[in-house]
Amino acid sequence: MKLFTCDCCGNLLYFENVSCVRCGAGLGFVPHELRLTAISLPEAYDCELPVDRNQAQSYRQCANYTKHDVCNWMVEAESEEPFCVACRLNRTIPNLAVDGNKSLWHKLEMEKRRLVFTLLSLDLPVFPRSRHPDGLAFDFLADPDPAFSDRGKVLTGHDQGLITINIAEADPVAREKMRTAMDEHYRTILGHFRHESGHYYWERLIRDTDWLGPCRELFGDDTQDYSQALERHYQNGPPADWPERFVSAYASTHPWEDWAETWAHYLHIVDTLETAYHFGIKVRPRVENNGELFAKLDFDPYHQDHFDMLVEHWFPVSFALNSLNRSMGHDHAYPFVLSPPVLEKLDFVHRVVRSQQLK
């Protein structure tokens, strides 16, 4: 994620900010420019920077900004669309009459917009399924009340462009219980979005393209029965040697899951490296280690020709990130080991994405 500053006072901003905490300027994110900008300026504050006060007239707030206060993205003023490019992807939102659902939905929307930001930064196609059958859509659903329905729990997953997210994933207590029950090292809302988007982009970028053959050589035969593969995984667990070949235990389930997990980790890497780049982070341990953990983030990770450059910087950055987390009493932020076969798969994902950028 890049850094943003207030157009009015130059204060550093978070991606989710709707106003500047220093000067009070109202803020909105302009997706086609990937820019957080001032849309209303405080009358009582003397702006320190030159600001185009007519700029706000070019945009208007997303309908989910004005109606529900769950979005800070903008829509071009002349557009007939009520929603921004991220909210336009929603097919179903939770029942906001149910107490607590709006808060959970808000958390989901914040992480979804981080996903969309990354996809736009990578120049990947992002358009709604409501406008085109090959588009992307989201259903944010809650489990039914067992007293009134015999329908089973909502399963987070992907089906032909439709990504379903159980809103319980936005509850940190419920999510931690699920992480423990599933014996996972890592479970986050953003991780879910990135993983499920991997299934979508497999259909868009791999299936029916020249990439399918090379993909099968690395990830395996995707024509094997998916339901049977899942059943085997949940009954028998992952193979004992999975860390040598897969980025996670779940990736060993089926080639589709291996691709989706690898895709998610690729997005983890480029987004975190971009954050480090914009903070000007350098990793230079004050110990003798032959330079193995040295990294100077002085490049844009979203537009690199070769994945080797990303890996060279990712190892020291993730090591430092994990060490900082441990110093705060938390688990590793990135509790994964990238084996040579996994790095080869990540490189493949990078080449697929890069081919889209160069079109």
Structure tokens of 165? 């997210």
Q: Is the pLDDT of residue 24 over 60?
A: yes
Structure tokens of 333? 């932020």
Q: Based on the domain organization, do 210 and 287 belong to the same domain?
A: yes
Alpha carbons 196 and 156: distance in angstroms, whole number: 8
pLDDT confidence tier of residue 228, bands split at 50, 70 and 90: very high
pLDDT at 264: 97
pLDDT at 244: 95
Number of folded domains in the chain? 3
pTM for the full model?
0.91
Alpha carbons 265 and 318: distance in angstroms, whole number: 12
Q: Is the pLDDT of residue 4 over 90?
A: yes
Last residue in a domain, options 172, 200, 228: 200
Please list, in sequence order, all residues whose beta carbon lies within 8 angstroms of the beta carbon of residue 270, skipping any fewer than 6 positions away: 118, 122, 301, 302, 310
Please list, in sequence order, all residues whose beta carbon lies within 8 angstroms of the beta carbon of residue 85, skipping any fewer than 6 positions away: 31, 32, 73, 116, 120, 126
pLDDT tens column, 237-246: 999 999 999 9
Alpha carbons 49 and 116: distance in angstroms, whole number: 29
Average pLDDT, the chain: 89
Last residue in a domain, options 200, 231, 248: 200
Q: Based on the domain organization, do 247 and 268 belong to the same domain?
A: yes
Q: Based on the domain organization, do 210 and 358 belong to the same domain?
A: yes
pLDDT tens column, 263-302: 999 999 999 999 988 888 888 776 665 556 666 667 788 9
Percent of the chain with pLDDT over 70: 91
Q: Based on the domain organization, do 195 and 216 belong to the same domain?
A: no
Q: Based on the domain organization, do 155 and 70 belong to the same domain?
A: no
Please list, in sequence order, all residues whose beta carbon lies within 8 angstroms of the beta carbon of residue 159, skipping any fewer than 6 positions away: none
Q: Based on the domain organization, do 153 and 135 belong to the same domain?
A: yes
CB atoms within 10 A of CB 4: 19
List b or e across 67-90, with b for residues whose CB sees 16 or more CB atoms inside 10 angstroms: ebebbbbbbeeeeeeebbbbbbbb
Range of the domain at 65: 1-82
Last residue in a domain, options 140, 175, 200: 200
Contact indicator for 117, 1 with CB cutoff of 8 Å? yes
Would you list the DSSP string of 22-39?
Answer: TT--EEEEETTTTEEEEE
Contact indicator for 325, 331 with CB cutoff of 8 Å? yes
Rounded alpha-carbon distances, angstroms, from residue 276 to 5, 92, 292, 301, 320: 16, 35, 18, 10, 11
Alpha carbons 26 and 40: distance in angstroms, whole number: 5
Q: Based on the domain organization, do 188 and 214 belong to the same domain?
A: no
Q: Based on the domain organization, do 51 and 141 belong to the same domain?
A: no
Contact indicator for 91, 137 with CB cutoff of 8 Å? yes
Contact indicator for 198, 262 with CB cutoff of 8 Å? yes
C-alpha torsion angle, residues 47, 48, 53, 55 (rounded to 10): -130
Q: Based on the domain organization, do 107 and 163 belong to the same domain?
A: yes
Q: Based on the domain organization, do 77 and 90 belong to the same domain?
A: no
pLDDT confidence tier of residue 187, bands split at 50, 70 and 90: confident
Q: Based on the domain organization, do 226 and 331 belong to the same domain?
A: yes
Would you list the DSSP string of 99-137?
Answer: TTHHHHHHHHHHHHHHHHHHHHHTT----BTTT-TTSBE
Alpha carbons 317 and 319: distance in angstroms, whole number: 5
Q: Based on the domain organization, do 162 and 263 belong to the same domain?
A: no
